[in-house]
Amino acid sequence: MYRHVEANLLALIDSSEDMWGSVDLDHRMVVFNKNFQDYIQSCFGVEVEVGMNPAEILPPERAAIWPALYDRALTEGPYHFERTLTNGHILEIAFNPILVDGQPVGVSLYGRDITDRKHTEELLRDSEARYRAAFQTCADCFVIIRIDDGRFVDINQAFIETMGFEREEVIGRTTVELDIWVNP
């Protein structure tokens, strides 16, 4: 039964587009998927094998970093960070302790290329900044009001200057509450 479970888990991990691997308490590779292997092969020219440690996989300056990263997961619990690679790609790397009967037996490693997501987030920030600048500097009065309750969500500087309100007086209120209309 357990062999089938293990085979299913390995098949799931191997079918992922992300990089997966795990190490034992001595920081030796226990299991890894094809994408992990392919990444290491393409970057460092090493074919990863079960039982290898960071010093056998990575250049010395990089290998020296990894034991502390694994140990941090064992002492502090799960964590992740982002790393920009030499090819410009951004990789999110997550570490999780592996516990059996409450005792640590190793650390799982997960890596995902988030370059496209980061690029999209940057485009959205730029778009928001352009929208914000256009909205606030427009000479005409512009407001954003929620349809469901008629409350102001945002107003531009021209509205403030034309209507004589402060932003804090307007946001979250309705035109009726502000007594804007001659004939409510």
- 148-177 per-position pLDDT tens digit: 999 999 999 999 999 999 999 999 999 999
106 pLDDT band (50/70/90 cuts)? very high
pLDDT at 4: 78
| pLDDT tier at 50, thresholds 50, 70, 90 | very high
Using the predicted structure, report yes or no on whether residue 140 has a pLDDT greater than 70.
yes
pLDDT tens profile 56-97: 999 999 899 999 999 999 999 999 999 887 778 899 999 999
Q: Which helix (H) or strand (E) holds 95?
A: strand 90-100
103 or 5, greater pLDDT:
103
Please name each of the domains of the chain with its CATH number.
2-117 (3.30.450.20), 138-184 (no CATH)
Give me the percent of the chain exceeding a pLDDT of 90: 70
Q: In this predicted structure, what is the pLDDT of residue 120?
A: 92
Q: Are 74 and 104 in contact (CB under 8 A)?
A: yes
Instruction: Tell me the C-alpha distance between 109 and 55, whole Å.
Output: 17
Q: Give me the residue label for tokens 């290998």.
A: 63
pTM of the full structure? 0.66
- For residue 31, is pLDDT > 70? yes
Instruction: Tell me which H or E stretch contains 81.
Output: strand 79-84
What is the pLDDT at residue 15? Answer: 78
> How large is the average pLDDT for residues 104-123?
93
Closest CA to 19 of 46, 38, 44: 38
Q: What is the rounded CA–CA span in Å between residue 32 and residue 9? A: 11
184: pLDDT strictly greater than 70? no
